[in-house]
Structure 1
């Protein structure tokens, strides 16, 4: 089979303009402000671009317009359903408005976040999205001086940098603990990683608030470091079984940990919820499909992503933002484990 014939001369915008018989200005409008070009002309231009193999020079466009057409987003961990839903929703809505998303993973480290910010800001993004409200002082200073929209998501920080789309992790921790107490559980363990997970720590404080309100013992298991793994849930059950007085309920900082706990209970022939009730946070896909199905706190990652994209676009289009802090709801999904 002979190789395809390749051109040694890159296709230029003028070639597309000549094919469609329009001006270079019309081609430029089609690429940068397509809403200002008629549908019929836009269709012809797109067909010509595909037929000729033309790829717009985005760097040249950036230099001439001083707009990069991309948004940077940093999440703690990409292999997590809620964060994945947020990124997908955010990227899809931005793409509809001709913006692309550049994604980085901080591995729950404020220092890695700072390094990623320096790298991304060097490419002149038009906005930045950060997960949570815990950042290094250098990061906060850099972002305050960047002169672009900054959105903190998945939390309600006490001192927002700019815009916020999130929910109260403290309240969600309080509510799931209160639900356990209402179901009659009185010895409730909270399992969390040992460091760096600020949102998990806020849920822990909510758990403590509920137990103090009802005069119940505070039982905390710190296991490993983030990101959360199923093995930490397995270890949580092993640790609980060593208690002199066995707890009757376990709240895990994440559904991933909670699922690991369920697997370990099944291996040890521990009945859920008769011997121990289990709950998590996240409402992952596996949470409703595992047997017994997992009680969890659900927050819509899709909603967070969509609201974040809309906030960014409003700012970039110089539209008024009436509310810089958008709250999303967290809901308890009660299933078979309590």
Structure 2
């Protein structure tokens, strides 16, 4: 027999259940409505079973440069959640390296991972976006100019108006200054370099010729064999890791770090513009932002790998690592001063140079004034570094 108190409790419980059920119904309905609102009013990455697939050929058949390209590809594929997929193709898979830019323009391949020096022959200004004069800047400051100093707009002008290429591109990965390179014999002055057959690319070739060297422009994979056969006396490629992978330590033992011939460079990632414009907005942004994310990761990976491999070259292969004599680097700057006037006759080339110098005069004044004596701090704790 129910008491009045028991009946009262039962009534309260029934009301609570009804209220809870009502709230659940409201929340469920609200979530469904919200989901519909998102679908109707906000862009969402497609989760269709068939992803958009882009074919991107790299200029690298192996080594750490291929890793950098694959790092970018992986970021795009993971960020898209499966809705956009890049298939990475090795060097030479579809076209030769020298034909990559043209192949992307024509839509033979959708994209490429390369450097601007590889199409320097089409327009000398290409070198200014990667292997140009050193205004006292680093590769990271070059990227700063591209993103915030007007460089991207000038690059687009070169592609669209001057070369008339159907290409959109991003810059990624600040490279440390490239070593002067590998020499069969010691070089202690500019006189020791005169007459040597030397491998480099881009405007650096003009600079080294001005310094009295005989310059040969070879693809990376041909450098070590050419030096092994005595076709060249000295060469540079890019960094200790790539150089070790090429086997440069087997054909020369004198390795000089620091140089002004290619002191700031980054990778260029290009896509066919019609293909790029056909992509959903979120996919376009993923291609762009993944290049920025890969850029940061590359700069950190390079610190680790290059320093480790430099130690391997010294300790396991008997390589004599030296800093390039200051007299040679001073001569490089003077050579740049002699090489540039000819190219400055081109109004576009001159416009790019003016933009770069305006950027670096301001940025460099801050950074050089603000930077403490890092070398002094290093020596304080560890002693000499070279």
Short-chain TM bin:
0.3 to 0.5
- Flag the structure with more relative contact order, 1 or 2, with Cα contacts below 8 A and sequence separation at least 6: 2
Question: What is the TM-score when the length of structure 2 is the normalising length?
Answer: 0.35
